[in-house]
């Protein structure tokens, strides 16, 4: 099985030191990306670590596919203990940073400790330098990119940065790269902020050499270039109208499951405002969304479907340019648009202010700077819903994405079992239930019978892709044969690797107190849910209380 090549670089920002470690055994066993990040975190972060304490660490990891020129490989992973969910969490971002990162010669960069002064950290194949940047206190992501260009001669595609939200420890703060691409879910930007690190930049001339099956790689690249796919025109928003028609688009803080004005904010609006093609490194699929409003001059990248949901339907906003502005503010201030939009929608519901676009944009600013009610909302819905007097639309502390489980029941089960919380990308069961796959692979969206086994396969497959690191939008082109060709292993072995990764995450979180009660907390009822949850544990070989048996995934961490 192919795997990432390179060392682990440990950067302790507290004492401004750096050292490299040989992790070939971890790389060969866990491939790269999320797998390697999860294994390193499991073994090196104490199980009782405070997410915002110096003992927590962030693991930036790349995979073997970042040494290739194949489409769908312009992504990388970040892993740490989440200040939003309090569990181990991985997030990955697209854009262009994965290649400069891989060129440093490191397969993984561990950031630990906490600095006394606000720092920028530059990692190259020749070493690590630390830069005090007091002038960047409160700076936006764009301003950090300008600083890196001026002081390090490195463009934003080399930079992982936080905005004011990360510095102010907003629990859903993102780490941004290439200005508009995000390690978005779970608040890892707050972890970087707690370490007093404003940015990391990567540059080098020591890329790894990984042998990839060229015939398979070229076939995927060719299909990415020639595929007739609506995502090439409207990105993920291309699903908006269909999701709405089947009752899978939440609206007005989850009160409804469809939105009458979807045509005003859906794929047509994106196409009207998109002014050029956008992509990630090496990818011919080009599904990104550079958009511009000619009247106001507002230019951004996006919004994607989840932002159209969170700042559109869920906030009862039918003005596309308002959603563009919300998207741009979140990118520049450094926040996950899903969690931020849901928190804003919760406040709008509590105040009877649905559709108030001026208030929405003001709240985004207040959250990022923890001013006034923004300080409350910055804690996330799980921690403030009682104060607001609204229902708690979270799982494991994470705000819900769209693709509503009340219509897509397998996706509802997926929101429950996901180690990451209410995140749609952990298993993507919605693909099977809309469906966005061939009829042979599709599932009836209603009911849960027989879906647990498919859910396990989807979770395992996505864990493998996140370890590659391979974009999930490759799903229509990534057959089992191609997966075997790309990774150089039998499909069963690849799924077994995915299973081990999910199990390590679950085992870590079990030691932090997570169990079945955290899975059994959906804010709506699904017929047959309890039986399906027990079946899911049985398929995985876990205990019926949602814990991993000690003899299956229970290797204690160094700090246990």
Question: For residue range 221-246, what is the model confidence (pLDDT) as tens digits?
Answer: 999 999 999 999 999 999 999 999 99
- Over its C-alpha atoms, the chain yields an Rg (Å, rounded) of 21
Q: Which helix (H) or strand (E) segment is 376 a member of? A: helix 373-377
Residue 481 covered by a domain:
yes
CA nearest to 217, candidates 494, 495, 474, 34: 474
Residue 218 covered by a domain:
no
Question: For residue range 137-155, what is the model confidence (pLDDT) as tens digits?
Answer: 999 999 999 999 999 999 9
CA nearest to 6, candidates 107, 102, 77: 107
120 and 239 co-located in one domain: no
* Residue range of the domain that includes 184: 7-203
Say if residue 539 is exposed, middle or buried (CB neighbours under 10 Å; 0-12, 13-18, 19+): middle
353 and 244 co-located in one domain: yes
Report the chain's mean pLDDT, rounded to a whole number.
96
User: What does the alpha-carbon distance between residue 91 and residue 369 come to, in Å, rounded to a whole number?
Assistant: 23
A 10 A CB-CB count for 500 gives 19
Tell me, rounded to whole angstroms, the distance of Cα 141 from its chain centroid.
Answer: 18
8 A C-beta contact, residue 380 and residue 373: no
% of the chain with per-residue pLDDT over 90: 96
Q: What is the CATH number of the domain that holds 69?
A: 3.60.9.10
Cα four-point dihedral sign 552, 36, 180, 147:
positive
Question: For residue range 421-461, what is the model confidence (pLDDT) as tens digits?
Answer: 999 999 999 999 999 999 999 999 999 999 999 999 999 99
Q: How confident is the model at residue 214 (pLDDT cuts 50, 70, 90)?
A: confident
What pLDDT score does 211 carry? Answer: 84
Report the pLDDT averaged over residues 475-479: 90
Q: What is the CATH number of the domain that holds 442?
A: 1.10.599.10
8 A C-beta contact, residue 381 and residue 170: no
Which two structure tokens, joined as six digits, stand for 167?
Answer: 């510095």
Q: What is the CATH number of the domain that holds 339?
A: 1.10.569.10
- Bridge-based pairing of strands 197-203 and 181-183 is unpaired
515 and 417 co-located in one domain: yes
246 and 176 co-located in one domain: no
User: What does the alpha-carbon distance between residue 115 and residue 108 come to, in Å, rounded to a whole number?
Assistant: 20
**pLDDT for 470 beyond 70:** yes
Query: How many distinct structural domains can be found in the chain?
Result: 3
User: What does the alpha-carbon distance between residue 76 and residue 97 come to, in Å, rounded to a whole number?
Assistant: 8
- Given phi > 0 = left and psi -120 to 50 = alpha, else beta, which region is 105? left
Preceding amide of 303 cis, omega within 30: yes
364 and 244 co-located in one domain: yes
285 and 369 co-located in one domain: yes
**pLDDT for 330 beyond 90:** yes
167 and 27 co-located in one domain: yes
Residue 239 covered by a domain:
yes
Which of the 8 DSSP states describes residue 60?
E
Question: For residue range 68-110, what is the model confidence (pLDDT) as tens digits?
Answer: 889 999 999 999 999 999 999 999 999 999 999 999 999 999 9
99 and 191 co-located in one domain: yes
33 and 123 co-located in one domain: yes
Question: For residue range 537-551, what is the model confidence (pLDDT) as tens digits?
Answer: 999 999 999 999 986
A 10 A CB-CB count for 393 gives 22
Q: How confident is the model at residue 554 (pLDDT cuts 50, 70, 90)?
A: very low
310 and 423 co-located in one domain: no
User: What does the alpha-carbon distance between residue 241 and residue 227 come to, in Å, rounded to a whole number?
Assistant: 21
Instruction: Find all residues with CB under 8 Å of 497, minimum gap 6, and list them.
Output: 1, 30, 31, 35, 460, 463, 464, 467
Which two structure tokens, joined as six digits, stand for 114?
Answer: 């906490």
CA nearest to 71, candidates 431, 487, 472: 472
What pLDDT score does 552 carry? Answer: 59
257 and 362 co-located in one domain: yes
What pLDDT score does 551 carry? Answer: 65
**pLDDT for 114 beyond 50:** yes
What pLDDT score does 560 carry? Answer: 40
**pLDDT for 556 beyond 50:** no
Residue 396 covered by a domain:
no
Residue 219 covered by a domain:
no
User: What does the alpha-carbon distance between residue 177 and residue 179 come to, in Å, rounded to a whole number?
Assistant: 5
**pLDDT for 34 beyond 50:** yes
99 and 175 co-located in one domain: yes
Residue 167 covered by a domain:
yes
Residue 108 covered by a domain:
yes
């Amino acid at each position: 099985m192919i795997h990432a090549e390179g060392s682990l670089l440990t950067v302790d920002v507290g004492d401004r030191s750096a050292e490299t470690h040989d992790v070939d055994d971890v790389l060969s066993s866990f491939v790269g990306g999320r797998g390697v990040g999860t294994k390193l975190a499991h073994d090196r972060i104490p199980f009782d670590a405070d997410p915002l304490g110096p003992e927590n660490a962030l693991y930036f990891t790349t995979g073997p596919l970042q040494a290739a020129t194949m489409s769908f490989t312009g992504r990388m992973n970040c892993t740490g203990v989440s200040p939003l969910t309090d569990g181990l969490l991985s997030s990955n971002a697209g854009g262009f940073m994965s290649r400069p990162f891989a060129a440093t010669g490191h397969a993984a960069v561990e950031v630990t400790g906490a600095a006394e002064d606000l720092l920028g950290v530059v990692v190259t194949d020749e070493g690590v330098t630390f830069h005090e940047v007091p002038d960047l206190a409160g700076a936006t992501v764009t301003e950090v990119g300008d600083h890196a260009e001026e002081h390090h001669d490195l463009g934003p595609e080399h930079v992982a940065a936080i905005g004011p939200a990360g510095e102010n420890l907003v629990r859903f703060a993102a780490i941004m790269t290439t200005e508009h691409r995000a390690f978005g879910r779970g608040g890892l930007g707050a972890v970087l902020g707690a370490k007093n690190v404003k940015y990391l930049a990567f540059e080098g001339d020591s890329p790894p050499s990984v042998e990839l099956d060229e015939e398979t790689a070229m076939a995927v690249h060719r299909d990415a270039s020639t595929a007739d796919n609506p995502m090439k025109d409207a990105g993920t928003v291309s699903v908006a109208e269909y999701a709405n028609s089947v009752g899978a688009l939440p609206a007005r803080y989850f009160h409804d499951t469809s939105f009458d004005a979807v045509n005003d904010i859906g794929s047509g609006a994106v196409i009207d405002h998109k002014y050029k093609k956008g992509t990630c490194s090496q990818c011919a699929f080009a599904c990104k969304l550079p958009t511009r409003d000619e009247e106001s001059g507002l230019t951004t990248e996006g919004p994607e479907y989840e932002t159209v949901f969170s700042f559109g339907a869920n906030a009862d906003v039918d003005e596309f340019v308002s959603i563009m502005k919300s998207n741009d503010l979140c990118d520049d201030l450094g926040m996950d648009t899903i969690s931020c939009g849901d928190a804003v929608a919760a406040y709008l519901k509590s105040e009877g202010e649905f559709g108030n676009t001026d208030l929405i944009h003001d709240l985004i600013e207040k959250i990022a700077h923890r001013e006034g009610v923004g300080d409350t909302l910055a804690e996330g819905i799980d921690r403030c819903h009682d104060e607001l007097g609204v229902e708690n639309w979270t799982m494991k502390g994470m705000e819900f994405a769209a693709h509503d489980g009340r219509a897509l029941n397998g996706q509802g089960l997926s929101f429950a079992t996901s180690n990451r919380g209410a995140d749609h990308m952990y298993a993507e069961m919605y693909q099977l239930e809309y469906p966005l796959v061939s009829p042979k692979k599709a599932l009836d969206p209603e009911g849960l019978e027989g879906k647990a086994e498919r859910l396990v396969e989807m979770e395992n497959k996505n864990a493998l892709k996140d370890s590659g690191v391979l974009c999930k939008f490759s799903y229509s082109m990534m057959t089992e044969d191609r997966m075997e060709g790309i990774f150089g292993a039998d499909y069963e072995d690849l799924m077994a690797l995915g299973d081990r990764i999910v199990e390590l995450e679950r085992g870590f979180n079990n030691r932090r107190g997570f169990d079945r009660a955290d899975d059994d907390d959906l804010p709506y009822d699904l017929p047959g849910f309890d039986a399906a949850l027990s079946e899911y544990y049985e398929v995985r070989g876990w205990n019926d209380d949602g814990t991993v048996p000690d003899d299956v995934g229970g290797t204690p961490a160094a700090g246990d």
